[in-house]
């Protein structure tokens, strides 16, 4: 059912995107590498309803060699992955590489901040089991307890090479025709709500933990230390079509576990995410929780915890689905 509905939404969305897409091309002709021959930079911007970005083509005026890079991506992800043609990394083309960085990228950092570490390790550990009784996505986004309040950085990128590149590149799909041995991984964390993070108060607490949330994240305080528990990035557990739509709704704290209602507008469905605070195991229920049951009966607005069971309604099923919490948490800890 969900696939059929999503297919219709994609068709409608694609038509809407074609209408809403905007294109802009800017061409610069300058002797970038100071060899007395004019070079060309073509900067093509394309922005649609749900995806967009920039394509850069830089042409060496003397050799006519072309280099192409793109940061095209969808607005459901905090990151963009920009593959760098190997030849562009050569000393002879350093001037062209600088132009690319100045045009396309924010500032550079040499290491990941704590929130991007969650996305990085979550992406690398992601599994999508097909026969699991409860989950269709599982991951273990390993991060460390931080002895101070969490912060949200300004946009930045890191250069990825070697083993790290070989691990992360397949997540972003096949490479272009040209070979590459480096990539820029660009991070735009502003939708994690920097302003709210600085003045946040706990929404839940027990004797051990204080739980906080922003529009797209959940984090925890234990004693004087903090740790990210969940970030609503499309590459890990899924996300709304646009990050400007808030994703985090209900959260339940049960001992050292969290159950999170993650909204997915514009779809009429939501995800249920289960997190073990200490191990950081995170998983998404494989069912299709929905505000409407696709019958004449009204579905549940969100999940409920009742008699040590998780309750929610799903597409096409007027009956309330009930899963014992003990079984759910055991399954989470076993993968």
For the segment 163-185, what is each residue's pLDDT rounded down to a tens digit? 999 999 988 887 655 578 999 99
* CA 253 to chain centroid: 24
Residue 19: predicted pLDDT: 41
**Cβ-count burial 275-311 (b if 16+ within 10 Å, e if not):** bbbeebbbbbbbbbbbeebbeeeebbebbeeeeebbe
Rounded-to-integer distance, Cα 244 and Cα 216, Å: 9
* CA 19 to chain centroid: 26
Rounded-to-integer distance, Cα 139 and Cα 335, Å: 9
110, 158 in Cβ contact below 8 A? yes
Residue 178: predicted pLDDT: 59
Beta-bridged to residue 41, according to DSSP, are 28, 58
Question: Is the overall model pTM greater than 0.85, yes or no?
Answer: yes
pLDDT in tens, the chain (335 residues): 444 444 344 444 544 444 456 889 999 999 999 999 999 999 999 988 899 999 999 999 999 999 999 999 999 999 999 999 999 999 999 999 999 999 999 999 999 999 999 999 999 999 999 999 999 999 999 899 999 999 999 999 999 999 999 999 988 887 655 578 999 999 999 888 777 787 889 999 999 999 999 999 999 999 999 999 999 999 999 999 999 999 999 999 999 999 999 999 998 889 999 999 999 999 999 999 987 766 656 678 899 999 999 999 988 887 899 999 999 999 999 99
Residue 242: predicted pLDDT: 93
Rounded-to-integer distance, Cα 212 and Cα 210, Å: 7
76, 239 in Cβ contact below 8 A? yes
Residue 176: predicted pLDDT: 56
41, 56 in Cβ contact below 8 A? yes
According to DSSP H, which parts of the chain are helical?
Answer: 2-20, 94-104, 114-125, 162-168, 194-198, 325-334
């Amino acid at each position: 059912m969900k696939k059929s509905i999503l297919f219709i939404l994609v068709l409608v969305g694609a038509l809407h995107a074609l209408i809403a897409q905007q294109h802009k091309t800017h061409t610069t002709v300058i002797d970038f590498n100071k060899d007395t021959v004019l070079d060309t930079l073509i900067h093509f911007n394309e922005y649609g309803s749900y995806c967009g970005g920039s394509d850069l083509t830089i042409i060496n005026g003397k050799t006519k060699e072309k280099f192409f890079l793109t940061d095209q991506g969808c607005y459901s992800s905090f990151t963009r992955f920009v593959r760098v043609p190997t030849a562009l990394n050569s000393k002879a083309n350093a001037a062209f590489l600088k132009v690319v960085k100045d045009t396309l990228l924010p500032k550079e950092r040499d290491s990941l901040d704590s929130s991007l570490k969650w996305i990085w390790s979550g992406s690398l550990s992601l599994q999508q089991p097909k026969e699991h009784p409860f989950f269709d996505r599982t991951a273990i986004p390993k991060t460390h307890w931080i002895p101070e309040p969490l912060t949200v950085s300004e946009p930045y990128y890191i250069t990825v090479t070697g083993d790290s590149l070989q691990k992360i590149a397949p997540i972003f799909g096949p490479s272009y025709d040209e070979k590459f041995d480096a990539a820029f991984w660009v991070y735009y964390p502003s939708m994690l709500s920097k302003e709210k993070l600085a003045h946040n108060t706990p929404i839940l607490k027990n004797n051990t933990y204080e739980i906080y949330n922003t529009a797209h994240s959940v984090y925890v305080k234990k004693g004087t230390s903090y740790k990210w528990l969940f970030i609503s990035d499309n590459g890990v557990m899924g996300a709304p079509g646009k990050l400007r739509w808030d994703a985090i709704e209900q959260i339940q704290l049960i001992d050292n576990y969290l159950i999170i209602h993650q909204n997915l507008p514009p779809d009429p469905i939501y995800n249920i995410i289960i997190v073990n605070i200490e191990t950081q195991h995170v998983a998404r229920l494989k069912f299709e929780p929905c505000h409407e049951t696709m019958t004449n009966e009204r579905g549940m607005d969100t999940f409920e915890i009742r008699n040590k069971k998780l309750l929610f309604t799903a597409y096409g099923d007027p009956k309330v689905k009930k899963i014992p919490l003990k079984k759910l948490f055991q399954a989470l800890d076993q993968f």
